Amino acid sequence: MKPIYAHVPATASSPADLVRELDLAVGDTIACADRIGGKLEFTRLTLLWVGEEVAVWRVKRRWDGAVTWRDDGENAYWNLTQHRWSKVDDSDG
C-alpha cells in the first residue's frame, strides 16, 4: 500500500480536480486513521463518481479493536487535504 499524500497537489481547484491529480479512479478505495478522544478511528472512502467539480464517496468507519466496518453511506463533502491517505484493497471491508 503506497501512501498518497492528498495535501501535495496545490493546483486542485475542486474535490474532483484533486481526485484526478491523485490519479484515483471510480472504484478505488483510500484509507486514513485519526486519533479522536484517545481512540483511533479508521476511515475508508471508495470513489463512486467524479463530476466536473464534485467527487462522491462511499464512507466506511470503524474504531480500533472493532471487527466490522460501519457503513456511513455516500458523501460528497470530504476534504482530502486534511489527512494522509493510503490506497487500499477494500475487499475485506
Q: What is the pTM of this model?
A: 0.83
Q: What is the pLDDT of residues 16-68, one digit of tens each?
A: 988 988 889 999 999 998 888 888 999 999 999 999 999 999 999 999 889 89
Range of the domain at 54: 3-88
Q: How many domains does the chain have?
A: 1
Identify the CA nearest to 69 among candidates 34, 41, 29. Answer: 41
| Residue 93 covered by a domain | no
CA distance 13 to 3: 22
| Residue 45 covered by a domain | yes
| Residue 16 covered by a domain | yes
Where is 56: in which H helix or E strand?
strand 55-63
